[in-house]
C-alpha cells in the first residue's frame, strides 16, 4: 500500500528558531495536507495543497507541494511555545475507486519549543 515517510520524528528547538519538516511518498499524490495535533485533541488542518509546485502560507507556516508530486514540506518561522504539538502530513492519491477520499498519513513530527 501507499506509504508516507515523515521526518524528522521529533524536534527540540529554542523559541524563535525556524522549523522544517517533510514527507515523501512512494506514489504520486494529488493533494497534500498538513495537520497539527495538540495533546488530547483531534488534528486540525493547517494548510492544503492541490497543485504540484504550489507554495502556500498560513501566518508563520509555509508549505509546498513538491514538483514530483511525491513530497511536501512544512516550514514554521520564528517558532513560539504554542507551536508545540504533533505535525502530520497527509496525502491523497491520484487513483480513485475504493481509495476515494482516503488519506494516507505520515507518522508525525513531535515538536517541542523551549522558551
Partner 1 sequence: SQTIHQWPATLVQPVGSPLSLECTVEGTSNPNLYWYRQAAGRGLQLLFYSIGIDQISSEVPQNLSASRPQDRQFILSSKKLLLSDSGFYLCAWNRGTEAFFGQGTRLTVV
Cell numbers for 56: 502556500
Q: List the one residue from 12, 39, 82, 115 that touches partner 1 (CB under 8 A).
A: 39
Q: Among residues 7 and 77, whose Cβ is nearest to partner 1?
A: 7
Q: How far is CA 105 from CA 12, 65, 74, 102, in A?
A: 22, 15, 14, 10
Residue 82 phi/psi, 5° resolution? -75, 0
Pairing of β 109-114 and β 10-14: parallel
Minimum CB distance to partner 1, residue 92 (Å): 6
Q: List the one residue from 42, 59, 82, 115 that touches partner 1 (CB under 8 A).
A: 42
Minimum CB distance to partner 1, residue 91 (Å): 10
Q: Please give the residues from 77 up to 106 whose contact with partner 1 meets the rule CB under 8 A.
A: 86, 88, 90, 92, 98, 100-103, 105-106
Amino acid at each position: 500500500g501507499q506509504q508516507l515517510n515523515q521526518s524528522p520524528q521529533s524536534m527540540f528547538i529554542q523559541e524563535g528558531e525556524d522549523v522544517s519538516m517533510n514527507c515523501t511518498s512512494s506514489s504520486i499524490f494529488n493533494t497534500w495536507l498538513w495537520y497539527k495535533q495538540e495533546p488530547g485533541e483531534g488534528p486540525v488542518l493547517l494548510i492544503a495543497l492541490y497543485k504540484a509546485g504550489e507554495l502556500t502560507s498560513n501566518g508563520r507556516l509555509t508549505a509546498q507541494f513538491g514538483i514530483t508530486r511525491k513530497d511536501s514540506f512544512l516550514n514554521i518561522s520564528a517558532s513560539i511555545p504554542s507551536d508545540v504539538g504533533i505535525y502530520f502530513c497527509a496525502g491523497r492519491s491520484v487513483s480513485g475507486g475504493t481509495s476515494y477520499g482516503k488519506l494516507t498519513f505520515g507518522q508525525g513530527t513531535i515538536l517541542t519549543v523551549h522558551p
